[in-house]
Amino acid sequence: MIHLTRYIDFEASHYYYLPELSEEENYQIFGNKVNQHGHNYSVHLTVGGKIQSSDGMVINIKDVDELIRSYINQHYDHKQINQQHPVFSADPCIQPTPENIAIELWRATSQDLATLGVNMRAIRLTEEERTYVQYYGVEPMIHLTRTYEFSAAHRLHSSELSDDENTEIFGKCNNPNGHGHNYVLDVTLSGEVDQRTGLLVRIVDLDQVINKKVFGRFDHKHLNLDTVEFQNLNPTSENFVRVLWELIESDILSLSPSRSVRLHRLRLKETPKSFFDYYGD
Ligand SMILES: [Zn+2]
Ligand SMILES: [Zn+2]
């Protein structure tokens, strides 16, 4: 089984608005997304299949493009989704959120892909640079990833090792005066889409958790000197990603207990050359 991923871009406009609510109530839920606005969307479509002995390919990319591109051209590209998409225009209660668009794309195209001999495995939809949703075909489960960046100093040093051993193991990172990084943290949540809002969580609510629990504690701080978490703990990325998990896990759980929204993965990048993934214990 080989997995093949193809990128497809489109541009479209939309707004979120629940017809049963007042303007003010809509604004409280969706903020300025109640106003019509637009995005450059990017779809990463992953299909799986067996290599064909005749041509050595899983599927001809031309055929994937033809199928998906024509569907997207017809219903999404340079369209007003609320008013021009057959599903979203037919029912104004279904909001054209990235979550719902990913699910709709899957429903509309996966069967045609199957007739070409491949199975849809994942759809990743990016609406703006820092946030994307991933859908794996199990309704109404969605993964949502948002990226955060903060800066901190640290010194890698273990109290269980001698000074010489610390120098040998950590090298320049053991510099007594410390050094620093732009940390990049990808936070991935999973859970059921809220059938009413079409969202897994409101991004503002997720941002609030990260602002309070991550930025408030660690941004522009010296991890060893300024934080209780690393007073006796070596601030390696491995330890850091676990500390971050423990700090935010319960806040994420309380965002929507009824839809079992939970923290799925934390990915911490200390430098652009390496990253550390943690999925909890
Ligand atoms: Zn939008
Ligand atoms: Zn470092």
**Quick one: which of 152, 110, 122, 119 has its CA closest to 237?**
152
Q: Each residue of 136-150: pLDDT tens digit?
A: 999 999 999 999 999
Pick the ligand that lies closest to the CA of residue 174: 2
Check pLDDT > 90 for residue 115: yes
Structure-block tokens of residue 180: 């620093």
| Percentage helix, strand, coil for the chain under 3-state DSSP, each rounded to 5 | 40, 30, 30
Domains of the chain (ranges, CATH numbers): 1-138 (3.30.479.10), 140-281 (3.30.479.10)
> Terminus-to-terminus CA distance in the chain, angstroms?
29
- Spacing, Cα 33 to ligand 1 middle (Å): 6
Alpha-carbon distances, residue 141 vs 133, 188, 194 (angstroms): 11, 13, 10
Closest listed ligand to the CA of 154: 2
Active site residue 93: no
Q: From ligand 1's centre to the CA of 12, what distance in Å?
A: 9
**Token digits of residue 96:** 């054209």
Question: How far away, in angstroms, is 230 Cα from ligand 2 center?
Answer: 14
**pLDDT computed for residue 137 by the predictor:** 97
Can 127 be counted among the known catalytic residues? no
* Residue whose structure tokens are 């100093």: 153
Query: 64: closest CA among 76, 81, 50, 47?
Result: 47
**pLDDT value, residue 24:** 97
pLDDT in tens, 43-77: 999 999 999 999 999 999 999 999 999 999 999 99
Q: What is the pLDDT of residue 281?
A: 85
* 220 belongs to the catalytic site: yes
pLDDT of residue 107: 97
Average pLDDT of span 202-215:
97
Question: What's the confidence (pLDDT) of residue 175?
Answer: 95
